[in-house]
Chains A and B, each alone.
Chain A
Amino acid sequence: MMNNLKKIAGIVWILLGPISIYYLVKTAAIEISKKPVPETKIQWIVFVFIFIPIAIGLVIFGYYALKGEYQHLPESSAEIND
Chain B
Amino acid sequence: MNQTKTAFSIRKIIGASSVGTLIEWYDFYIFGSLATVIASQFFPKTNPTAALLSTLATFAAGFVVRPFGALVFGRLGDLIGRKYTFLLTLTIMGGSTFAIGLVPGYSQIGFAAPIIVLILRLLQGLALGGEYGGAATYVAEHSPPTKRGFYTSWIQTTATLGLFLSLGIILITRHSLDSDPLKSFSKFNNWGWRIPFLFSIFLVGISIYIRLKMKESPLFAQIKSEGKISTNPLKESFSHKSNLKMVLLALFGATMGQGVVWYTSQFYAMTFLEGTCKLDFDQTRTILIWAILLATPFFIVFGKWSDRIGRKWIMLAGMFLAIITYRPLFQKLITITDTQTKTEVAEKKQIQTSYNFIAGSNDTLRTQAISHFFTNGTSLTETKIDTLYATPGKITLKPDVKISKLVGTGDYWLIVGILFIMILYVTMVYGPIAAFLVELFPTKIRYTSMSLPYHIGNGIFGGLTPFIATLLTTIYTGDKLVGLYYTIIIAGLSFIIGALYINNKTDKDISD
Could you list which residues of chain A lie within 8 angstroms of chain B, going by C-beta atoms?
A: 5-6, 9, 13, 16, 31, 37, 39, 42-43, 46-47, 50, 54, 57-58, 60-61, 64-65, 69-70, 73-82
Cα A2 to Cα B169 in complex, Å, equals 51
- A26 to chain B minimum Cβ distance, whole angstroms, is 13
B441 contacts the other chain (Cβ, under 8 Å)?
A: yes
Cα A81 to Cα B497 in complex, Å, equals 24
Chain B residues closer than 8 Å to A5, beta-carbon distance: 500
- Whether A42 and B442, one on each chain, are in contact in the complex, defined by CB atoms closer than 8 angstroms, is no
- Whether A50 and B252, one on each chain, are in contact in the complex, defined by CB atoms closer than 8 angstroms, is no
Cα A50 to Cα B64 in complex, Å, equals 8
Q: A43-B57, A50-B64, A77-B443 are in contact. Are A82 and B460 (CB under 8 A)?
A: no
- Whether B240 and A80, one on each chain, are in contact in the complex, defined by CB atoms closer than 8 angstroms, is yes
- Whether A77 and B249, one on each chain, are in contact in the complex, defined by CB atoms closer than 8 angstroms, is no
- B64 to chain A minimum Cβ distance, whole angstroms, is 6
Chain A residues closer than 8 Å to B248, beta-carbon distance: 57, 60-61, 64
- Whether A61 and B53, one on each chain, are in contact in the complex, defined by CB atoms closer than 8 angstroms, is no
- A32 to chain B minimum Cβ distance, whole angstroms, is 13
Interface set, chain B 233-267, CB cutoff 8 A to A: 236, 240-246, 248-249, 251-252
- Whether B54 and A39, one on each chain, are in contact in the complex, defined by CB atoms closer than 8 angstroms, is yes
5 smallest beta-carbon distances between A and B, as pairs = A77-B442, A77-B512, A61-B248, A70-B501, A80-B242
Chain A interface helix/strand/loop/mixed: helix
Cα A57 to Cα B247 in complex, Å, equals 10
- Whether B242 and A76, one on each chain, are in contact in the complex, defined by CB atoms closer than 8 angstroms, is no
Contact with B252, one of A37, A39, A61, A81 (Cβ below 8 angstroms)? A61
- B interface residues, tally (CB under 8 Å): 37
- B7 to chain A minimum Cβ distance, whole angstroms, is 28
Chain B interface helix/strand/loop/mixed: helix
With CB as the reference atom, state the residue of chain A lying closest to B60. Answer: A46
Cα A46 to Cα B122 in complex, Å, equals 14
Chain B residues closer than 8 Å to A37, beta-carbon distance: 50
- B201 to chain A minimum Cβ distance, whole angstroms, is 31
Chain B residues closer than 8 Å to A54, beta-carbon distance: 456, 460
- B458 to chain A minimum Cβ distance, whole angstroms, is 13
Extra contacts, 20 of them, besides A60-B248, A74-B242, A75-B507 (Cβ < 8 A), are: A13-B252, A39-B50, A43-B471, A46-B57, A47-B464, A50-B64, A57-B248, A57-B251, A57-B252, A61-B245, A61-B248, A65-B501, A69-B241, A73-B249, A73-B501, A74-B246, A79-B242, A80-B242, A80-B246, A82-B240
Chain A residues closer than 8 Å to B493, beta-carbon distance: 16
Chain B residues closer than 8 Å to A16, beta-carbon distance: 493
B1 contacts the other chain (Cβ, under 8 Å)?
A: no
With CB as the reference atom, state the residue of chain B lying closest to A71. Answer: B501
B172 contacts the other chain (Cβ, under 8 Å)?
A: no
- B435 to chain A minimum Cβ distance, whole angstroms, is 16
Cα A73 to Cα B456 in complex, Å, equals 22
Q: A31-B475, A75-B507 are in contact. Are A6 and B57 (CB under 8 A)?
A: no
Contact with A81, one of B60, B442, B475, B503 (Cβ below 8 angstroms)? B442
With CB as the reference atom, state the residue of chain B lying closest to A69. Answer: B245
- Which has the most chain A C-beta neighbours within 10 Å: B243, B245, B464, B512? B245
